[in-house]
Amino acid sequence: MPAELRVTTATTEYDGIVRAVILAHKEHARYPLARPLGDTLALAIQAALGPGRAAWLCPVPSSPATVRRRGHDPLRRITKVAVHRLRRGGYDVRVADALTVVRRPRDQAGLSAEDRATNLAGAFAARSRWAERLTGQPVIVVDDVLTTGSTLAEACRSLSSQGIPVLGCAVLAATRRRVVPGS
């Protein structure tokens, strides 16, 4: 896992029904699935925060072209549901759209961990209007699926490079880490 990746919490493994539900919401605009997915993401965020903590939640952005193709921004939708659930539970959390895509990476499917990190290097940047607002404020980076950690590491690097402290990361699900015999 990349060195810049902060402590990350995931609620479950990215497999079976969880994978199907995430993909149905993300790729097939099944909007009602945002609620159970957001509620699940809220559990990961709570674990990253600890009791009684406050933070800004920064979703990893999709490129504008991807959002247009899908017809919605699934992670932002899920994050907003998580914010509502957590605020009802007494947490002081808000969405911070502090990252933007500045270079669209190629598709990550099939890439090794090293190739993913290279592919994502410089893909995100912290939005300048957020840098001052978030300085000294705890931030949790959120994403839907953790595969190698490259996306989260690049998001954290982009924020940290602007003086924005990243408390940790929270994801809905994580792929099972495969160990290659002899490595």
Strand runs (DSSP E) across 14-160, as ranges?
54-59, 92-95, 99-101, 124-126, 139-146
In a domain, 42, yes or no: yes
96-146 pLDDT per residue, tens:
999 988 877 666 666 666 766 666 666 788 898 888 889 888 899 999 998
In a domain, 134, yes or no: yes
Residues 120, 5 contacting (CB under 8 angstroms)? no
Token representation of residue 149: 């950690």
For residue 44, the 8-state DSSP code is H
Domain that holds residue 165: 8-174
Report the number of distinct structural domains present in the chain: 1
The pLDDT-based confidence of 179 (bands split at 50, 70, 90) is very low
Mean pLDDT of 138-165: 89
Query: What is the radius of gyration, based on Cα positions, of the chain?
Result: 16
* Residue 130, domain CATH: 3.40.50
Taking Cα atoms as reference points, which of 174, 166, 175, 171 lies closest to residue 75?
Answer: 171
In a domain, 181, yes or no: no
Which helix (H) or strand (E) segment holds residue 38: the answer is: helix 34-49
Looking at residue 175, its pLDDT comes to 87
In a domain, 3, yes or no: no
In a domain, 87, yes or no: yes
